Chains A and B, each alone.
Chain A
């Protein structure tokens, strides 16, 4: 069970859109629509922003959206704001009641 692959860091300017990828295998990302994304500000616990690949919990901004193609899931943040600067983590069901996370991506808003 290997960690999912995310870019270590991405950066963008306010107002731009940013997409963070999360690559796995057919045994995890590609095999199930059970992908979740978490936002984590420094010193804080992660917070759920996307579940089942594309769904947003109540209260999460519609600037956050999720998608999947093959073995790669993606998180897109539109209209970047300073408050979006954080770490983002993907997570996938990996069969046999196990879960696997990505290595996390640090988003910097320039």
Chain B
């Protein structure tokens, strides 16, 4: 059973960089056929796809966030990470990491529990 767990600061100051890590257990992040994704949910609102990374390092980002987002992977620790620069209050949200099937279904079958990040001084 694959499990994902987000970790990182719950409070980020405006203009600083928001950084989160997702640790994958119960399976290898290097398994072919899966994208490792970040998704966020603003308070009381819907989900927003941020982007994904393949174990090879290939990435794709939401065009609306692309200029501020970097997703990286460390296959030796079975982790992938999110960095979002120039954080503002609009980035306050619950951030989820998830596994996406890249071989056609393009659906998210495993999710982390989510972590709330508040951007405030």
Contact = CB atoms under 8 A, between A and B. Distances in A.
A36 B96 contact: no
Given A97-B60, A98-B62, A104 B108 contact: no
B106 A45 contact: no
Contacts, number: 65
Interface in B15-56: 39, 45-49
Contact of B45 (A44, A48, A57, A103): A103
B108 A102 contact: no
Interface of A: 1, 3, 6, 34, 36, 38, 44-48, 51-52, 55, 57, 89, 91, 93, 96-104
B60 A91 contact: no
A51 B105 contact: yes
Contact of B46 (A34, A44, A97, A101): A101
A70 B62 CA distance: 24
Nearest to B63: A1
A108 B66 CA distance: 36
Contacts of B46: 3, 6, 89, 101-104
Contacts of B39: 101
